[in-house]
Amino acid sequence: MQAEPRHLGRVDYLPTYEAMQAFTAARHPGADEGEADQLWICEHPPVYTQGLAGKPDHVLNPGAIPVVQTNRGGQVTYHGPGQVVAYPLIDLKRAGYYVKEYVYRIEESVIKTLAHFGVTGHRVAGSPGIYVRLDDPASHAALTGPMHPADPFRGLGKIAALGIKVSRHCTYHGVALNVAMDLEPFSRINPCGYVGLQTTDLSTIGVSASWQDAADVLGRKLATYLAP
């Protein structure tokens, strides 16, 4: 049974993180009569979140934006208005697939969401998240050839960041898709630990989509692709 997207609106990061932890701690993984999976869709006020692998020196100049330490995978990222954040709370034991496939399914949901808006999303091996060609966001050409050794993301912009946690076979944290943001705060960190990694959003690459439109499409794609 697929999780129905639940729209939370704009909510502070920390209480949302704590609510995910509490929901997950109370679950009974694998039980047929256990709590139904949930899919939270929201937006956060400006906040930097640091993953378990995060290094303090990747937070260059946070200024007045709070930095919250979390237990998700990955390194530092930024959440703010104009970004759709999705938190799938999935019982993988009941869903019948493993973490690697779970990550693949989330990325596929983002790729299909971007395709809805005429944009081609790309995976980069070893770098979770979804990237677009900045010079031609609609190009279907595959990313080929070796990455440039000095700048592996040359010509690419990161449009969606992924950071997950799995506890007792149950997932929380999730994925953030940039729609129409003030991108300046990304310049104050090394996004996901990569120096100089360019971050973009749908608006910057010429797609006029409202936050709600993007949230609705991403919610539907996630519900479909994460179904057991």
Q: From first to last of its 228 residues, what are the pLDDT tens digits of the chain?
A: 789 899 999 999 999 999 999 999 999 998 877 789 999 999 999 999 999 989 999 999 999 999 999 999 989 999 999 999 999 999 999 999 999 999 999 999 999 999 999 999 999 888 889 999 999 898 887 776 555 556 667 789 999 999 999 999 999 999 999 999 999 999 999 988 888 789 999 999 999 999 999 999 999 999 999 999
Consecutive H or E run containing 127:
strand 127-133
The token pair at 204 is 């910057």
> Is 160 within 8 Å of 217 (Cβ atoms)?
no
Residue in 192, 202, 209, 215 annotated catalytic: 192
Q: Which of 194, 184, 188, 105 lies closest to 147, judged by CA?
A: 194
192 has catalytic annotation? yes
pLDDT at 118: 97
Q: Where are the alpha helices (DSSP H) in 8-124?
A: 13-25, 92-95, 99-116
pLDDT at 23: 96
Instruction: State which CATH number among 3.30.930.10, 3.40.640.10, 2.40.50.140, 3.40.50.170 fits the domain covering 5-118+161-195+207-225.
Output: 3.30.930.10
Task: Tell me how far apart the alpha carbons of residues 135 and 157 are, in angstroms, rounded to a whole number.
Answer: 10
Statement: the pTM of the whole predicted model exceeds 0.75? yes
> Is 70 within 8 Å of 23 (Cβ atoms)?
no
At CA 159, angle to CA 153 and CA 163, rounded to 5?
A: 95
